[in-house]
Amino acid sequence: MPMLGLGTWENTDPEACANAVKTALEMGYRHIDTAQIYGNEAEVGAGIAAADVPREDIFLATKVWINELGHDDVIESTKESLDKLGVDYVDLLYIHWPARAYDPDETLSAFDELVEQGLTKRVGVSNFEPEQVREAVERSDAGIFANQIELHPLHQQDELREVCAEAGVEIVAYSPLARGTVFGVDVLSDIAEKHDVSEAQVSLAWLREKGVTAIPKATGEAHIRDNWKSLALDLDDEDIEAIDAIERADRRVDPDFAPW
């Protein structure tokens, strides 16, 4: 899985969304993330179709919403997602939240069937806490490839990262820039100045050092390019230790159905 992807949450303007996906892919991105609830799967698909990049080179992920997690609903809604995306399969299909219609056995068995049918190559979970990760790993025949969670220097999720590592589950970080909050943190600003880069690049490089794939959302070419430049940034031990020492639990995503 590529270590940096493009997130598309809130990117609902049809032209802007398709252009962002096309721009990112032609810049070198290979991981594109969307979700049923984002309402932009068709636009993401249009961007993929417009880009001069073979489908087999793209790691495409979407997520099944919490109202669609009954067995038959998982199957039907995933086929609808594929139609909107204009693809035969996704590389990774997530359970978006362990909420509402989520039932470990029923939901995961449907995801297993989708793998068997070739409609997704991998099963993922999102916003799963430690015990839910362990349970999903135990119940899934196909295996759990990744847990997509809010993760950034201001919400480092040490225990959850450790549990996922022990279970062999990759971590994908959404809101890796804490929805812009990283730009106001002295530690990150000092490191950014030291390397003559942005705080966004510092945050993304820190996640990469932790073995985490980040999927920052970006619409304009300037932000897409700035995030891409993070791949060339090598933080030193002093930088990483300084970021590790940030003691904040600044969660930016906290809906009423969240499991924590």
Q: What is the pLDDT along the chain (260 residues), one digit of tens a residue?
A: 889 999 999 999 999 999 999 999 999 999 999 999 999 999 999 999 999 999 999 999 999 999 999 999 999 999 999 999 999 999 999 999 999 999 999 999 999 999 999 999 999 999 999 999 999 999 999 999 999 999 999 999 999 999 999 999 999 999 999 999 999 899 999 999 999 999 999 999 999 999 999 999 999 999 999 999 999 999 999 999 999 999 888 999 999 999 99
Encoded amino acid at 258, one letter: A
Rounded Cα distance between 52 and 33, Å, is 18
Find the Cα–Cα–Cα–Cα dihedral 191, 193, 194, 197, rounded to 10°.
Answer: 90
| Phi, psi (deg, nearest 5) at residue 32 | -120, 130
Q: Report pLDDT for 248.
A: 82
CA separation, residue 177 to residues 174, 183, 184, 202, 216 (Å): 8, 8, 11, 10, 7
Alpha-carbon Rg for the chain in angstroms: 18
Q: Residue 2: its pLDDT value, please?
A: 84
Strands 213-214, 31-33: pairing is unpaired
152: three-class secondary structure by DSSP: strand
Angle between helix 158-167 and 130-139 (nearest 10) = 20
Distance CA(104)–CA(110), nearest Å, equals 10
- Give residue 199's pLDDT: 98
Coil, helix or strand at residue 120: strand
- Using alpha carbons, select from 125, 61, 110 the residue that is nearest to residue 87: 61
Q: Cite the active site residues.
A: 38
Q: Give the phi and the psi of residue 76 in degrees, each rounded to 5.
A: -65, -45
Say what the pLDDT of residue 1 is.
83
Closest CA to 161 of 215, 227, 207: 207
Q: Look at the chain and count its residues.
A: 260
Q: Please give the torsion angle defined by the CA atoms of residues 254, 159, 103 and 112, in that order, rounded to the nearest 10 degrees.
A: 120
> Going along 85-160, which residue ranges are E strands?
92-95, 123-126, 146-150
